[in-house]
Amino acid sequence: MSASMSEPADVSLDEARQLLTDLVSIPSPTGEERKAAERLVAFFELHDREAWIDEVGNVRAPADDSVLLTSHVDTVPGEIPVEVQTADEDDVDAEVADETGEDVLWGRGSVDATGPLAAMAVAAVRTGVSFVGVVGEETNSRGARHLVADREEPDAVINGEPSGATGITLGYRGFLAGTYVATSESGHTSRPEPNAIQHATEWWTSVEDAFENDEYQAVFERVTAKPVDMDGGISDDGLSVEATLDVQLRIPPSLDAESVRETAEAELEIGTVSWAEPIPPVMESPRTEVARAFRVAIRNEGGDPRLLRKTGTSDMNLYAGTWDCPMVTYGPGNSELDHAPDERLSLSEYDQSVKVLERVATTLSGGEE
């Protein structure tokens, strides 16, 4: 059942908040997670927990595998001055004070997903359950991909992303990324024949039309198609026009990556498109033992549970695609502040989420509540 057993240990409120502040204060954009990972290892070792950084950079702290708490260490780039703004400060932002009435931590990653990461680390130490901090979630999820290939399946998974202290995320759309490439002969721009840049834009317009949705259909149930980068122009030798178009498609649980890819390729007449490894959609049942444990824990902490479906994609998609165990995603923070220039987290919400996670982990590991 467990990779190794660890005794629960006490973590004070001040120490829990300090861990959060320290991690937010350490820049950890994708590819630069090492220092934040070392801070996490030090936290576990301080509480007599075995922890190490594996070959891809993940923080591993195995223990009772009744539940695995896991979130990502990396953040998107962007510097936001790290500060704790107290509710009773004279210059406190009125909008923030109205929103929380509590102390607020500002900084990149405070919401996505260093807040959930720190909350899970604290809850893991307090309850003696397994923990992993993964790397690379904001780009190619290399940490999660390595984890599912390298680790045995736990009994349950709680993935860390902002849902708010009362939100339980059960579903995410899948993800498919592709790169279109076309080349055409160069010629005078007065000629009517389309060049490679036009071929690229015509293909993508056709793809968007193929996935046209009913405006009354929920976004979660749609395929959304987005171009994310384009490069084109005369080649270095001046003999051709070249075009490269990077695209992303989000996949609802009613479809799979193969069918979405086939639809996009059916619109392809000129040029080629190569696809990255897809991430499948996921939709978990609200009736699993994990979801039930969260509803009870949130109510016991004075909250009203909310079941959520997210239009984006997370590492939970990969876990669900490989491991056949119940799972949800949970964590403090307003997801509307993901990647935002005003990213911030209510510290009282962080405290509440730690207590919820502690209750859930205790329930799933067979402890008393």
**Domain CATH for 164:** 3.40.630.10
pLDDT band at 261 (very low <50, low <70, confident <90, very high): very high
Active site residues per annotation: 74, 137
Q: Could you report the per-residue pLDDT of 144-163, keeping only the tens digit for each? A: 999 999 999 999 999 999 99
Specify whether 187 is located in the same domain as 62: no
Give the burial string for 151-172 (b: 16+ CB within 10 Å, else e): beebbbbbbbbbbbbbbbbbbb
CB-based contacts of 181, cutoff 8 Å, min separation 6: 242, 243, 244, 245, 271, 272, 273, 274
Specify whether 79 is located in the same domain as 129: yes
| Residue 258 belongs to domain spanning | 174-275
In terms of phi and psi (left: phi > 0; alpha: psi -120 to 50; beta: otherwise), the region of 109 is left
- Please compute the mean of the pLDDT values over residues 276-283 and round it to a whole number: 94
User: Is pLDDT above 80 for 5?
Assistant: no
Counted domains in the chain: 2
Percent of the chain with pLDDT over 90: 86
User: Is pLDDT above 90 for 299?
Assistant: yes
* Cα three-residue angle 305-126-36, rounded to 5 degrees: 90
Which segment of 24-33, 41-50, 208-217, 219-228 scores lowest on mean pLDDT?
Answer: 208-217
Q: Could you report the per-residue pLDDT of 91-129, keeping only the tens digit for each? A: 444 444 445 467 999 999 999 999 999 999 999 999 999
Q: Is residue 245 situated within a structural domain?
A: yes
Specify whether 143 is located in the same domain as 286: yes
Q: What's the count of helices (H) and strands (E) in the chain, helices before strands?
A: 10, 16
Specify whether 209 is located in the same domain as 235: yes
Q: Could you report the per-residue pLDDT of 300-328, keeping only the tens digit for each? A: 999 999 999 999 999 999 999 999 999 99
- Of 289, 347, 335, 326, nearest to 308 (Cα)? 335
Q: 161 labelled as ligand-binding? A: yes
Q: 138 labelled as ligand-binding? A: yes
Q: 72 labelled as ligand-binding? A: yes
Specify whether 208 is located in the same domain as 179: yes
CB-based contacts of 65, cutoff 8 Å, min separation 6: 1, 2, 3, 129, 130, 152, 154, 155
